[in-house]
């Protein structure tokens, strides 16, 4: 079958290679031409490209299932697979990849280029071609690229075929990122960690994190409410460095003795929580032969680093539906939509609830024990009651859906109602950090 894929991001390329390995001829179209001759890759239109990405185990598992050699290629590129010892003699489970997004995509793109059944084409996808009530290809720079199956993997800002499915739920999550990449100096040890990927700390009114990547690189980031304009100057290197130096968790990593910056400060655009299914407003398949995957279906606040894991899980399920409903893409779309409703939408809903409550608390509100607690508070409560890990661990690892937290939520709420609060991390409040930013910007 001839397949046309709009978008050569992680979802589009993964799906393309996997379909080619099933014997299909796949053309992937992207407006981005790939890395330049000098090796640089700006990747305009994918604003998060140089921002830190945490690569969860689900990503390694998806690669292992469809293109296991890519894990070796990532390792050869300097990517570290982080493994924890398995419990009770079970084999160790990969817990993720320490990797820059740019390195991940370079390796994936090289796989797609080398895959015999995949052709990568540079061009702007204007629209989906249709005839006789089904998708017949893509319109690329005004010309039709004929295909029997069309996959929309054009990312979080996708406007492609917008009229063919119900409007997206959700929108701006109210939080913004600023980050910068560094490299450890020769012989320097990594800084303090509290997570496999590095360190993540919520302070009074903002969040900081360090993501370890490949080849001794790492990113430091600061996340805060988008509407707090006092932090706009963080995009200037001297201001970002002053702010990072003021927060102990970041200061330990970015101190000039330990590391040096290798990029400018990367201001982040706004972050979204959105969900959009396959079907039109009437619950029907909008256009048989057209399927949507990756960020075109779901985006979540990246603070929990779920995006590519959710995207590749979708791809794996989409491939399964196409295998099972071979020759009937409308049936595949219905089955895929049902799976996404049950297995993708809950991650979106989890973040919507969590982010709204986080912003309320960051504005000065206390834990609200009159209603269900958001997931971040349930995770924090493991500090007071480690027995919660039995339920929290699988959720945190994305092996269990957010609803599994319901089992312990009343117990955790009672804990907060008795007055327990997570111990504060050392560091300035958001007002104090804003003062550091304003002073450094003068």
Ligand X SMILES: Cc1cc2nc3c(=O)[nH]c(=O)nc-3n(C[C@H](O)[C@H](O)[C@H](O)COP(=O)(O)OP(=O)(O)OC[C@H]3O[C@@H](n4cnc5c(N)ncnc54)[C@H](O)[C@@H]3O)c2cc1C
Angle at 279 between CA 277 and CA 280, to 5 degrees: 120
Residues 289-308 that bind ligand X (CB under 6 A): 294-295, 302, 305-308
Give the residue with the Cβ less far from ligand X, 155 or 286: 155
Give yes or no for residue 96 binding ligand X (CB under 6 A): no
* DSSP string across 180-230: EEEEEPTTPPP---SBTTEEEEEETTEEEEEEE-STTEEEEEEEEETT-GG
Per-residue x/- mask for ligand X, residues 240 to 269, rule CB under 6 A? ----------------------------x-
Choose the binding region for ligand X from 44-52, 247-255, 410-418, 424-432 (rule: CB under 6 A). 44-52
Specify the residue for token string 């978008």. 7
Find the part of the chain contacting ligand X (CB under 6 A) among 26-34, 62-70, 222-230, 369-377. 26-34
Report angle CA 18, 19, 23 to the nearest 5 degrees.
Answer: 115
Alpha carbon distance 294, 322 (integer Å): 16
User: What are the distances in angstroms from CA 307 to CA 59, 274, 294, 378, 393?
Assistant: 10, 11, 8, 21, 19
One residue of 104, 111, 177, 347 binding ligand X per CB under 6 A: 177
Contact 301, 355 (CB under 8 A): yes
The Cα–Cα gap between 131 and 73 comes to 41
Residue 160 is a binding residue for ligand X (CB under 6 A): yes
Strand partners, 213: none
The smaller minimum CB distance to ligand X, of residues 14 and 362, is found at 14
* Residues contacting 339, CB < 8 A, separation 6+: 317, 321
Residue 156 Cβ vs ligand X, minimum distance, rounded to whole Å: 6
Question: Minimum distance between the CB of residue 296 and ligand X, rounded to whole angstroms?
Answer: 6
- Is 7 a binding residue for ligand X by CB under 6 A? The answer is yes
Helical ranges in 325-363 per DSSP H: 329-343, 345-362
State the virtual CA torsion across 45, 49, 53, 55 in degrees, nearest 10: 90
Q: Measured between alpha carbons, how far is 174 from 157 in angstroms, rounded to an integer? A: 17
Cα gap 148→134, rounded to integer Å: 9
Q: Closest by alpha carbon to 270, among 359, 166, 156, 114?
A: 156
125 close to 6: Cβ distance less than 8 angstroms: yes
Which of 5, 9, 168, 285: binder of ligand X (CB under 6 A)? 9
Using the rule CB under 6 A, give the single segment among 25-33, 183-191, 367-375, 380-388 that binds ligand X.
25-33
Give the nearest distance from C-beta 8 to ligand X in angstroms: 5
Regarding 45 and contact with ligand X (CB under 6 A), the answer is yes
Calculate the alpha carbon distances from 138 to 15, 120, 129, 298 in Å. Answer: 17, 14, 5, 22
Contact between 162 and 290 under an 8 Å Cβ cutoff? The reply is no
Interacting residue with ligand X among 5, 20, 27, 48 (CB under 6 A):
48
Binding residues for ligand X, how many (CB under 6 A)? 38
Nearer to ligand X, 28 or 373 (CB): 28
Shortest separation between residue 9's beta carbon and ligand X, angstroms: 2
CB-based contact 363:430 (threshold 8 Å) = no
Stretch that binds ligand X, among 92-100, 148-156, 377-385, 433-441 (CB under 6 A): 148-156
Q: Does 106 bind ligand X (CB under 6 A)?
A: no
The only residue of 309, 340, 352, 373 in contact with ligand X, by rule CB under 6 A: 309
Closest distance to ligand X from the beta carbon of 432 (Å): 25
Q: Does 350 bind ligand X (CB under 6 A)?
A: no
- Alpha-carbon distance values, 162 to 126, 128, 172, 240, 279 (Å): 12, 10, 18, 38, 11
Q: How far is the CB of 390 from ligand X (least distance, A)?
A: 25
> Is residue 29 a contact residue for ligand X (CB under 6 A)?
yes
Nearer to ligand X, 8 or 415 (CB): 8
Residues 5, 104: contact at Cβ < 8 Å?
no
Exactly one of 5, 19, 209, 311 binds ligand X (CB under 6 A); which one? 311
Decide: is 46 part of the binding site for ligand X (CB under 6 A): yes
Given 153, 184, 210, 405, the residue binding ligand X (CB under 6 A): 153
Chain residues that interact with ligand X, rule: CB under 6 A:
6-12, 29-32, 45-46, 48, 51-54, 124-125, 153-156, 158, 160, 177, 268, 271, 294-295, 302, 305-309, 311
């Amino acid at each position: 079958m001839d397949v046309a894929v709009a978008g050569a991001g992680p979802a589009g390329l993964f799906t393309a290679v996997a379909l080619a390995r099933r014997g299909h001829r796949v053309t992937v179209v992207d407006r981005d031409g790939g890395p330049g001759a000098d090796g640089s890759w700006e990747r305009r239109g994918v604003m998060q490209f140089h921002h830190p990405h945490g690569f969860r185990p689900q990503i390694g598992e998806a690669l292992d299932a469809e293109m296991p050699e890519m894990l070796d290629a990532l390792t050869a590129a300097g990517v570290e697979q982080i493994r924890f010892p398995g419990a009770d003699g079970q084999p160790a489970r990969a817990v993720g990849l320490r990797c820059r997004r740019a390195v991940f995509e370079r390796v994936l793109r090289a796989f797609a280029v080398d895959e015999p059944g995949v052709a990568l084409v540079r061009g702007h996808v204007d629209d989906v071609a249709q005839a006789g009530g089904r998708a017949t290809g893509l319109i690329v720079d005004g010309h039709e690229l004929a295909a029997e199956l069309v996959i929309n993997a054009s990312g979080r800002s996708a406007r492609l075929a917008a009229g063919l499915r119900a409007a997206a739920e959700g929108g701006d999550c109210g939080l913004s990122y600023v980050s910068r990449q560094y490299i450890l100096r020769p012989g320097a040890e990594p800084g303090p960690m509290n997570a496999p990927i590095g360190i993540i700390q919520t302070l009074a009114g903002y969040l900081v994190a360090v993501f370890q990547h490949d080849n001794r690189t790492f990113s430091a980031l600061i996340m805060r409410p988008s509407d707090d304009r006092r932090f706009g100057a963080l995009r200037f290197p001297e201001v970002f460095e002053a702010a990072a130096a003021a927060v102990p968790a970041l200061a330990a990593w970015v101190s000039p003795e330990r590391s040096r910056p290798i990029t400018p400060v990367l201001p982040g655009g706004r972050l979204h929580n959105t969900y959009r299914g396959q079907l039109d407003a009437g619950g029907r398949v909008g256009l048989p032969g057209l399927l949507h995957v990756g960020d075109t279906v779901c985006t979540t606040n990246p603070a929990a680093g779920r995006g590519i894991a959710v995207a590749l899980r979708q791809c794996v399920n989409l491939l399964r539906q196409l295998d099972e409903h071979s020759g009937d893409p409308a049936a595949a779309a219905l089955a895929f939509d049902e799976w996404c409703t049950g297995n993708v939408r809950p991650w979106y809903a989890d973040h919507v609830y969590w982010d709204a409550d986080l912003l309320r608390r960051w504005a000065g509100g206390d834990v609200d024990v009159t209603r269900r607690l958001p997931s971040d508070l349930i995770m924090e409560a493991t500090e007071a009651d480690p027995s919660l890990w039995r339920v929290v661990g699988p959720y945190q690892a994305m092996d269990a859906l957010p609803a599994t937290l319901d089992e312990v939520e009343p117990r955790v709420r009672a804990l907060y109602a008795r007055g327990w609060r997570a111990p504060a991390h050392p560091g300035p409040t958001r007002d104090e950090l804003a003062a550091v930013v304003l002073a450094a910007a003068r």
